[in-house]
Amino acid sequence: MSDKSSSRPSGFDRRAFMAGAAGSVLVPMTARAAAQDASAPVAQDPSLPVEVTLRVNGKEKHLHLDARTTVLDALREHLKLTGSKKGCDHGQCGACTVLIDDRRVVSCLTLALAAEGQEITTIEGLATDDRLHPMQQAFIDNDAFQCGYCTPGQIMSAVACVKEGHAGNEADIREYMSGNICRCAAYPNIVAAVKQAAPEIMKG
Amino acid sequence: MRSFSYQRATDPDMAVQALGAAAASNNPLTKATAQPLAGGTTLIDLMKLDVMRPAAIVDINPLAHAWSAIEPGGDALRLGALAKMSDVAAHAEIQRSYPVIADSLKLAASAQLRNMATLGGNVMQRTRCNYFRDVSYENCNKRNPGSGCAAMDGVNRMHAVLGTSDQCIATYPGDFAQALIALDATVEITGKAGTRSMPFAQLHKAPGSTPDIETALQPGELISGFSIRGRWPRSVYLKARDRQSYEFALSSAAIALDVQDGTIRDARVALGGVATVPWRAREAEALLREQKFDEALAQRVADAAFADARGRRHNSFKIALGKRVVARALQQAVTMEI
């Protein structure tokens, strides 16, 4: 891992700290035997990893993945891009929202194999050099989070919401941000953040 | 999730062949060992829950270049099965000429899911019945034919009051299908023998004694598109739900009217959130034809739409709610500016 997006400033790293403190808690996906009729068309042996090339934040990543791996798990467990969060893992909470070809999707229901050849943008890919993306800055300015777990998904969703033209008024922002759940209920401040960042993003 | 083989279909023949190879020994479609992957918002979810257990996934997204048309012509509409919900909902001509379609899509799911989900996959969406989705319940005639129905005497607040049987009361969860059935859409199906068409109203099967058979599609067949004749600018989709956004319908109505000089010439009424399949209320809409609209008529139509409804312990409220949704949707359709 030599690309900028995965390098971290020296000092405290919450994930490294937690992994160290709790011992090796990251268990790879358990493979369960396919108890199914063997007459299915076999494109490849499902027990073998598949070669996948993902384009993440402008960089090509060559991976060997179990076919079951979602984009979210590929990002978090294989590329160490842990900004995208796993909330429900069923497409209901929005914490895993990323952009694929500039459209917001839930990465937990997207197979990595199906995302080959597409441009994946994560929260780690938003800032340029030392400058935060206007939406990141707006979330800080408006105190648009408490625990912060939903925040990367909220910000990715909000960037797309603005670019789709769905941030013209508060009602629209609330409707088009409804796929991102905030357990701390920071909604009023999230709406304020989206309103603040929208003009700057639309300016380009 | 159980393991599966993954294959990308680059043309329709390849997709049909890959899906059909496992078909002979696998009926119905819902249990086929090869499943097509489009948006994946239902399939991957249900695979994680172990409700669906395909051994092979056939990724049909590469067919999008041929199957994602959004073509409102002069007097007809064609929609490709792989068009995304968000793209169809945002299409200016769909909003103008078929507001019931645009709104049914816009009011469904979340912005992220609408970016992923396709029209074909949307109409094939499986029920949200909690007993179906939770495999720790043995009793589900849809998952395990003959095992019984845990919802019948369980927590059935979200369940259907129309089209039920003594085997299954699971609600058809989608919104867009109500717009299609109201507008007499045709569904185009691609299979080994080529392409066939059927009225969309014949696609979904009421549970009856075989709740595991949900549609008329056979394994190895794919929905490739939908078509609708005529324009329906006077049409609405009204959806009542527990939350203002991002929630399945408790009750919804798709209404399309042709009103000339104050007289209703043609009327379509379809119901969502209350039935086991996309539901067309034909007896109710017959009451509207050649009539002038008033509130009493709306009430009679609403009563007729739910005349055969059967509530259970927790869902009887849907009958009263559903009637109000129909009456209000009719009012909106009659008074809307077009």
Give me the number of domains chain B comprises. 2
Domain membership flag for residue B24:
yes
Q: What is the mean pLDDT of chain A?
A: 85
Q: List the single residue in A with minimal CA-CA distance to B62.
A: A114
Tell me the shortest Cα–Cα distance from B34 to chain A, in angstroms: 6
Using the beta-carbon criterion (under 8 Å), do B33 and A39 form an inter-chain contact? yes
Q: Which of these three, B62, B81, B110, is where a domain ends?
A: B62
- Predicted confidence at residue A10, as pLDDT, reads 45
Do A34 and B2 lie within an 8 Å CB cutoff?
A: yes
Sheet holding B194-199, edge to edge: B70-72, B76-80, B222-229, B186-191, B194-199
Residue B232: which residues within 8 A CB-CB, separation 6 or more?
A: B97, B98, B99, B100, B183, B256, B258, B268
The verdict on residue B97 lying in a domain is no
Give the single-character DSSP code of A5: G
pLDDT tens, B179-231?
999 999 999 999 999 999 999 999 999 999 999 999 999 989 999 999 999 99
Is the CB of residue B201 less than 8 Å from the CB of residue B193?
no
pLDDT of residue A32: 32
Q: Where in chain A is the domain with CATH 1.10.150.120?
A: 134-203
Please identify, among B62, B87, B106, the residue that sits at the C-terminal boundary of a domain: B62
* Degrees to nearest 5, angle at CA B85 with B221 and A102: 115
Domain limit, last residue, from B45, B62, B79: B62
State the pLDDT at residue A24: 39
Residue B1 forms contact with A (CB below 8 Å): yes
pLDDT at B47: 98
Is residue B301 a part of any domain in this protein?
yes
Q: Is B78 a domain residue?
A: no
We report the CATH number of the domain holding residue B49 as: 3.30.43.10
Q: Given a cut of 50, is residue A23 above it in pLDDT?
A: no
Q: Does residue B327 surpass a pLDDT of 70? A: yes
- State the pLDDT confidence band at A13, using cuts at 50, 70 and 90: low
Contacts of A34 in chain B (CB under 8 A): 2-4, 55
Residue B250 lies in a domain: yes
B144 interface with A at CB cutoff 8 Å: no
From chain B, the residues in CB contact with A91 under 8 A are: 41, 44-45, 112-113
Cβ–Cβ gap A109/B111 under 8 Å: no
A34 or B57, higher pLDDT: B57
B113–A103 CB contact, under 8 Å: no
Residue A18's pLDDT band (cuts 50, 70, 90): low
Residue B313 falls within a domain, yes or no?
yes
Q: What range defines the domain where residue B259 resides? A: 235-335
pLDDT of A31: 33
pLDDT at residue A40 tops 50: no
pLDDT computed for residue A2 by the predictor: 41
Residue B22 has pLDDT above 80, yes or no: no
Share of chain A above pLDDT 90, in %: 75
Arch. (CATH architecture) of A49-125: Roll (3.10)
Write out chain B residues lying below 8 Å of A98, CB-based.
none
Residue A150's identity, in one-letter code, is C
Task: Dump pLDDT digits (tens) for B126-143.
Answer: 999 999 999 999 999 999
According to the model, what pLDDT value does residue A7 have? 42
Query: Does A21 score more than 90 pLDDT?
Result: no
Q: Radius of gyration (Cα) for chain B, nearest Å?
A: 19
**Chain A contact for B317, CB < 8 A?**
no
- Start-end of CATH 3.10.20.30 domains in chain A: 49-125
- Domain A134-203: CATH superfamily is [2Fe-2S]-binding domain (1.10.150.120)
Could you report the predicted ipTM of this complex, rounded to two decimals? 0.96
Distance, in Å, from the CA atom of A116 to the CA atom of A93, rounded to the nearest integer, reads 24
